[in-house]
Amino acid sequence: MASVADQTPASTGPQEKAAPATSSGPLKTPIASPAAATSIPAVPPLSPDQQSKYDGLLSHARAWTEVKCAAPAHADKSGPLTDSDRQWLTRECLLRYLRATKWVPKDAEKRLLETLAWRREYGVEGLTPDHISPENETGKQIILGFDKERRPCHYLSPGRQNTDPSPRQVQHLVFMVER
């Protein structure tokens, strides 16, 4: 079914031409791609020391075969590393954790394993659009457009709150950031 915005009025004669759209109101169509004037910033090369630390962390991460959940209540969620877990462990992810730990590979490895365990315990992969849809009915979170470095923009509008406080509100935020 077409929306009202998709319908064009019937022409009243051959001389009538469509007027250009000059609405100054809010944009109501998705922004499919970043503006042509934007660019992805150049990634500075790693120093030899940083590259060595990254290579070491990468070799450790490739050797991981199991995620162990520390909390006794979530011990049943421990298990082999899944394809989804491996896809999450990108070059950018490993570098982000190395930078966060001031390039201490042992600390980065510990944090990565703890994050993988948290993702299992929290159930990040199990969050579905159907489960979180009541939280987004009013558009309190929206991903719309891109910044100057071509990253998607995630807007939060707490004034559009439509549900009682619940764990699903946090799950909604995690879902929006992850997807």
Residues 110 and 142 in one domain: no
Would 9 be classed as within a structural domain?
A: no
pLDDT reported for residue 26: 72
Report in angstroms the alpha-carbon separations of 152 from 13, 25, 33: 44, 22, 9
Give the domain range for residue 121: 48-126
Residues 54 and 120 in one domain: yes
Residue 172's CB: how many other CB atoms inside 10 A? 21
Residue whose pair of structure tokens reads 């469509």 in the numeric block: 18
> pLDDT by residue for the chain (179 residues), tens digit each?
333 333 344 434 444 444 455 567 777 788 889 999 999 999 999 999 999 999 999 999 999 999 999 888 888 899 999 999 999 999 999 999 999 999 999 999 999 999 999 999 999 999 999 999 999 898 899 999 999 999 999 999 988 999 999 999 999 999 999 88
Number of domains in the chain: 2
Residues 136 and 114 in one domain: no
pLDDT reported for residue 72: 83
Asked if residues 141 and 173 have their Cβ atoms less than 8 Å apart, the reply is yes
Residues 134 and 101 in one domain: no
Residues 52 and 112 in one domain: yes
pLDDT reported for residue 4: 30
pLDDT reported for residue 30: 81
pLDDT reported for residue 21: 53
pLDDT reported for residue 8: 40
Domain end, chosen from 126, 142, 168, is at: 126
Residues 107 and 122 in one domain: yes
pTM: 0.76
pLDDT reported for residue 7: 37
* C-alpha closest to that of 93 among 108, 104, 77: 108
